[in-house]
Amino acid sequence: MPTRLPQPLLVAALALPLLMLLQDQAGHLFTSLLPWGLLLGVGWLFFPGWNRRATLSAPPSTPPSPEKVKQTLAATTKVLQQLEAEMPAAGLGEPLRQKVDQIDGELSRQEFRLAIMGAKGVGKTSLIHLLQTQWLPQCARPCTLLELPATALANPPLADLVIFVVQGDITESEYGSLTALHTAQQRTLVVWNKQDQYLPTEQPLIWQQLVSRLQDRFPTADLLAIATTPQPLQVQRHQADGSVQTWLEHPAPQITPLLDRLGQVLAQEGDHLILQQTLSQAIRLEAEVRTTLNQNRRERALPIIERYQWLAAATTFANPIPSLDLLAATVITARLVMDLAKVYQQEFSLRQAQAIATTLGSLLLKLGLVEFSTQTIAGWLKSNSLTFVAGGAVQGISAAYLTHLAGLSLIEYFQNHDPTSQDQVEFPSTAQLQRILTRLFQEHQRLDFLKTLFQQGLVRLRGTEWAGTGRS
């Protein structure tokens, strides 16, 4: 549909008092534009990576406590109520509430959960059998054993302690899994199984390599060597008649170092590890609920951004004077701020919205994005037949691009902005907005979106969607 310019907005965009207010600041900023070449490829800003490989997030460094778990669950319930209010038809409330109740019940759990992880063929099954027969009957508290592959890290293991089994030199895949466990602050014992398969002269070298590679992530006391199924030994006995009797003896499993360490960990850290696991589950659930809420809000926010980006393009196309372009963009961005704030259940006065819009405009200039977009679009227009509106097209499509960028930045800003927090010492947070813009640039270095926007803008020009804006 054609983009229509609301008359009050167009009048406001051309208001002289606001122009005078912004003139000094805008003039200073235009003189400080960074070379656009430093930001080559800024078009990648528009597609945050939603499909990253799942990784384990680290729980808080503060000591776990029942009170902290309760606080986290209360915060989760509050977000869940907001989610139900905004998405009543989705039916997400009841399953998530059941998870909240389940985690709350974990506070009284006495059973210890022990996960055995490792690649195929490292001896997980034999180790579990030995633990069931030699350790569980003597364990001071109830304990459940879980067997997991080394790759089962898309979601953190619901275990209080992990025994990660390797069989010698650590592969890159195993190292990545151990790094993920370390990052998530998952209590882990690393066990080298099948050491008996190496020659006695090789074993110290393998052990030293393992310790050297992992000692910056795991204490040496948590690195252990065992043999769950030692290789049989050939035994010969010389008989009195001169004959030799030969047979195979099967040595007993060598897991005493692991059993001793397990006893120490459970006695000294058992209750703490259960509480830490419960808190980690609560934190992950809160993050899950917030992510669901933010995804829904984002889906509702993107059409608003698209509407304003073309409104900015049409308004800028109608005003060839650069200072008026800047003014119109500020006014439109301020309205965008207020509309997006409603989606994120935040209230801003017009003055606050104008402050955020002015800050965004200043940052776009400071980071060189304005110069980059205009020069890139101008270069593409050289090969296009719309020379009679080339200048207006450059400014209009650039305005759409920058408005879209501002909108995406606002989405992330509102997701992280808590209006009730006592720590909000600056509003808007220029430093936070600049970090968002800079990070988006660094993460998304493709020109795909800007090229698509350019093509869409040309279609609108050819379709005379902006014909009524006054440019001839």
Mean pLDDT value of segment 39-58:
36
pLDDT band, residue 466 (cuts 50/70/90): low
pLDDT at residue 62, as a whole number: 63
pLDDT at residue 54, as a whole number: 35
- Render pLDDT for 200-250 as a digit per residue (tens, 0 to 9): 889 999 999 999 999 999 999 999 999 998 877 777 777 777 777 776 777
**Residue with the two structure tokens 């110069």:** 371
Contact 404, 456 (CB under 8 A): no
Helix (H) or strand (E) holding 115: strand 112-118
Least-confidence region, from 28-32, 190-194, 344-348, 385-389: 28-32
Tokens of 307: 């509407």
Contact 409, 360 (CB under 8 A): yes
More confident residue, 85 or 33: 85
More confident residue, 359 or 152: 359
Q: Quick check: helix, strand or coil at residue 165?
A: strand
Cα–Cα dist 170/150, whole Å: 12
Mean pLDDT value of segment 272-301:
95
CA geometry: angle 22, 27, 29, nearest 5 deg: 95
pLDDT at residue 326, as a whole number: 61
How high does pLDDT run on average in the chain? Answer: 79
- List where CATH 3.40.50.300 sits in the chain: 103-282
Contact 179, 214 (CB under 8 A): no
Contact 428, 356 (CB under 8 A): yes
pLDDT band, residue 318 (cuts 50/70/90): confident
Least-confidence region, from 169-178, 269-278, 304-313, 321-330: 321-330
Could you tell me which residues are beta bridge partners of residue 234?
248
Pick the closest to residue 284 from 400, 408, 155, 192 (CA basis). Answer: 155
Mean pLDDT value of segment 88-101:
87
pLDDT at residue 6, as a whole number: 43
Contact 402, 367 (CB under 8 A): no
Helix (H) or strand (E) holding 293: helix 256-317
> Distance of CA 216 to CAs 160, 211, 223, 347, 375, Å?
21, 9, 12, 47, 49
Backbone φ, ψ for residue 96 (5° rounding): -70, -35
More confident residue, 342 or 452: 342
CATH code of the domain occupying 103-282: 3.40.50.300
Find all residues with CB under 8 Å of 315, minimum gap 6, and list them.
5, 9, 10, 13, 328, 329, 332, 399, 469
- Render pLDDT for 390-411 as a digit per residue (tens, 0 to 9): 667 788 888 888 898 899 999 9
CA geometry: angle 460, 371, 14, nearest 5 deg: 60
Pick the closest to residue 303 from 411, 443, 438 (CA basis). Answer: 411
Backbone φ, ψ for residue 127 (5° rounding): -65, -45
Per cent of the chain over pLDDT 70 is 75
Cα–Cα dist 179/173, whole Å: 10
From the number of C-beta atoms within 10 Å of its C-beta (0-12, 13-18, 19+), residue 393 rates as: buried
The answer, yes or no, to whether residue 4 has pLDDT greater than 80, is no
Q: Is the pTM of this model over 0.85?
A: no
Mean pLDDT value of segment 53-80:
77
**Residue with the two structure tokens 């499909």:** 51
Mean pLDDT value of segment 35-49:
33
Cα–Cα dist 185/266, whole Å: 17
CA geometry: angle 182, 186, 106, nearest 5 deg: 160
- Render pLDDT for 414-445 as a digit per residue (tens, 0 to 9): 998 766 654 554 556 788 888 998 887 666 55
pLDDT at residue 126, as a whole number: 95
The answer, yes or no, to whether residue 283 has pLDDT greater than 90, is yes
pLDDT at residue 11, as a whole number: 37
pLDDT band, residue 61 (cuts 50/70/90): low
Sign of CA dihedral 382, 385, 386, 387: positive
The answer, yes or no, to whether residue 286 has pLDDT greater than 80, is yes
Mean pLDDT value of segment 444-457:
75
Contact 43, 369 (CB under 8 A): no
- Render pLDDT for 330-385 as a digit per residue (tens, 0 to 9): 889 999 999 999 999 988 888 889 988 988 888 888 888 777 777 778 777 776 65
More confident residue, 58 or 214: 214
More confident residue, 193 or 51: 193
Mean pLDDT value of segment 142-156:
79
More confident residue, 384 or 281: 281
